Structure 1
Amino acid sequence: MDNELVVEKSWWKRNWKWFFPTLLLLLLFLLLFGSILSSSIDGTVTDIAQAYSDNSLYEKAIEKAKMNKRVLEVIGAIEPIDKLAILEGNAIYSNHNNSVELSVRIKGNKGKGKMDISAHKNGNEWVYKEINIRVKEPKEEIQMLKDTIGEK
């Protein structure tokens, strides 16, 4: 029998063939992630973040919807909008963040739908140009434009 000492290869010699492809994939992932953040999606992300932080925009619209007789018949008592609904929705700010087009899901005790809000800022208050509620069951769009013209 030989009593020779078995010398193990270093980590580098055992794993060099996996190191470079892994490094390449990591760099490609970071490049892809960076390009997504710097693309036009970035504007959408900041608009949704702004809508997320501007509670008065959608809370006042919900209050107006709660006073609409047809909304109460179809959707019922509307629950407060949760923050996840804002993140799932769509928001587009324009005119130096003084105008907004917002779409957010709403839920009531009789049904659910989407609320579309078009508003502009007058000082610190939102003035609603249009508030519509779209319902799938029964398929209907409830327009509340006449309820919101000139009101804050």
Structure 2
Amino acid sequence: MNNQLIIEQNWWKRNWKWFLPTLLFSILTGLFLALSINGNATDIAQAYSDNSLYEKTIEKARSNERVLEIIGDIKPIDKLAFIEGDAIYSNNNSSVALSLRIEGSKRKGKIDIIADKNGTKWEYKKINIRIKNPKEEIQILKDSIEVH
């Protein structure tokens, strides 16, 4: 028998062929997910931090008879609704198109908000609630209003 010493290569030399492509794929996937979470992640965070933007629209929707009949009493919007939703700011962050999931005591839906900010006031151009089954759209706002 031959009594030779077997010298093992270090971890990097043994594994670089699969490690580099895996690392590159992970970085690219992470970048893609960070930039495509239903739009821009910074817009979603900005919409979440501006409570007056969506709380006033929920108050307005709660006073609509058709919403109460179809959806029931609307629960407060949770954090997950923003991750699932879509927010797009434009005009130097003074205009927004926001779509969020809402949940009522009877069923779920989506609220669509289009608004422009004038100083500290939001002027709402459109507030609609969409329901899937049966497919219906409830128009909450027909004319634009300003809310402090």
Instruction: Decide which of 70, 76, 87 is 2:72's aligned counterpart.
Output: 76
The separation in 2 between residues aligned to 1:111 and 1:31, in whole angstroms, is 40
Between the aligned residues of both structures, percent identity stands at 57
SS in 1 for 2:105: coil
CA–CA distance in structure 1, aligned partners of residues 30 and 81 of structure 2 = 26
CA contact (8 A) 2:122 2:146 kept: no
1:52-78 CA-partner distances (Å, limit 9, x unpaired): 222211111100100111000000000
TM-score of the superposed pair, with normalisation by structure 2: 0.84
CA contact (8 A) 1:106 1:115 kept: yes
**Number of aligned residue pairs:** 146
**Paired residue for 2:8, among 10, 27, 32?**
10
Q: Which has the higher helix share?
A: 1
**Conserved in 2, the CA contact under 8 Å of 1:52 and 1:87?**
no
Pair 1:36–1:137, CA change in 2 (3 A): closer
Partner Cα distance (2:64, 2:33) in 1? 40
Alignment-mate amino acid for residue 139 of structure 2 = Q
Query: Which of 50, 64, 67 is the aligned partner of 2:63?
Result: 67
2: CA distance, partners of 1:75 / 1:81: 14
Name the residue aligned to 1:132: 128
Which of 82, 87, 93 is matched with 1:86 structurally? 82
Distance 1:63 1:102 in 2: 16
2:110, 2:31 → 1: CA distance? 31
> After the TM superposition, which residues 1-150 of structure 1 pair with which residues of structure 2 at under 5 Å, given as runs?
7-12=5-10, 16=13, 18-29=14-25, 32-33=28-29, 36=32, 41=36, 44-146=40-142, 149-150=144-145
- The RMSD of aligned alpha carbons is 2.7
**AA partner of residue 108 (structure 1):** G
CA distance in 1, matches of 2:94, 2:12: 57
Greater C-alpha Rg: 1
**Bigger share in strand:** 2
Unaligned runs of 5+ residues in structure 2 are none
